[in-house]
Amino acid sequence: MKSAFVLGLLKIISLLPLGVARFLGKAMGRLMVIFSTHSFKITLRNLSFCFSNQPQQTHQKTAKKRMGHLGQTFFETPILWGRSPDWLQKKIIAVEGEAYLREALANDRGTILLLPHQGNWEVLNLWLARQTPVTSLYQPPKMAALGNWIKTSREKTGASLVPTNVRGVAALLKALNNAETAFILPDQQPPRASGAFAPLFSAQALTMTLAHSLLSRSNSQALFCTALREKNGWRLYFFPADQAIYSPDQAISLGAMNAGIEAIVAMAPEQYQWEYKRFRAQPEGSPSVYGSGV
């Protein structure tokens, strides 16, 4: 019953015009601020932790804007899953750095696209799969019916979704060695065994080593990308990763990857996923970033 209700609600939302969905999302964001929701509190904590040199008023302003974008993402995403690829193409305002993407796709190396949780990352997965074969990791939700709809929707433009396990990593490596493209969300906190601490916003963050491992085991190249929300659609951005990301020294490579994430976030801080507890894990002996209130 619960699964059917959630799936039915999302499919109803998918029928909304984009403008209406964004209006509802902004209203949802205002309510999250008024009721000081968990997401709002975590956002404020992350901003204060990462930018301690900024006044609290700046954090409040960014957090309020972030709630509006979080709400818009909630209402936009079912629309992206439900509409046709042609509809999405009409909503792409521009592609900045497209020459970097075309150059990468034209050579005989695989391409790792590093896509932080900024703007609406679903847009890039759907848009790029029409340009080139794409493989990405997928962790299905607990509701099977919802998971089937999401997976089918994400694969409708040709993307290949693989499980978040050893078999999935092997599929990513195979795709890269075949000069194809792999999507990686580089700003999720990994299990301890799959990460190492590296600087992020002047703090220490447990950072996934997957991209470094794939770059070390293949002749692939790395690009950063994002889809930022603009009026009537999204603007896509692509730019090469710093050369340090290819270093055999894992610490240097992870530092370069996190620097790229910082550059993406700086483009539109209010569109970044600050409500995620990115700094849950800390080096031994360090105090907890999140107190009992969050």
Say how many residues make up the chain.
294
Residue among 229, 237, 195, 222 nearest 99 (CA): 237
Domain residue limits, the chain: 2-271
Rounded CA-CA distance 210/148 in Å is 26
Cα 40 to Cα 31: distance, rounded to the nearest angstrom: 10
Place of tokens 């290949």: 160
In this predicted structure, what is the pLDDT of residue 247?
Answer: 98
Q: How far is C-alpha 36 from the geometric centre of its chain's CA atoms?
A: 24
The answer to whether 75 and 25 are in contact (CB under 8 A) is yes
The 3-class SS string of 152-204 reads HHHCCCCCEEEECCHHHHHHHHHHHHCCCEEEECCCCCCCHHHEEEEEECCEE
Instruction: Per residue of the chain (294 residues), give pLDDT as tens.
Output: 677 888 899 999 999 999 999 999 999 999 999 999 999 999 999 999 999 999 999 999 999 999 999 999 999 999 999 999 999 999 999 999 999 999 999 999 999 999 999 999 999 999 999 989 999 999 888 888 788 888 898 898 889 999 999 999 999 999 999 999 999 999 999 999 999 999 999 899 999 999 999 999 999 999 999 999 999 999 999 999 999 999 999 999 999 999 999 999 999 999 999 999 999 999 998 899 998 767
DSSP letters of 95-155? EETHHHHHHHHHSSS-EEEE--SBB-HHHHHHHHTTTS-EEEEE---S-HHHHHHHHHHHT
Main-chain dihedrals φ then ψ at residue 171, nearest 5 degrees: -65, -40
Q: Which pLDDT score is estimated for 166?
A: 93
> 84 and 127 in contact (C-beta within 8 Å)?
no
pLDDT for position 293: 65
Q: Are 36 and 87 in contact (CB under 8 A)?
A: no
Written as one letter, the residue type at 217 is R
Beta carbons of 144 and 3 less than 8 angstroms apart: yes
Work out the burial of residue 23: count CB atoms within 10 Å of its CB; fewer than 13 is exposed, 13-18 middle, 19 or more buried: middle
Q: What is the pLDDT of residue 157?
A: 86
Q: In terms of Cα–Cα distance, which of 235, 46, 31, 224 is closest to 123?
A: 235
The closest alpha carbon to 117, from 225, 278, 270, 272, belongs to: 272
Is 0.75 topped by the overall pTM? yes
Please report how many Cα atoms fall inside a 13 Å half-sphere around the Cα of residue 261, on the Cβ side.
27
Cα–Cα dist 241/260, whole Å: 7
| 3-state SS, residue 83 | coil
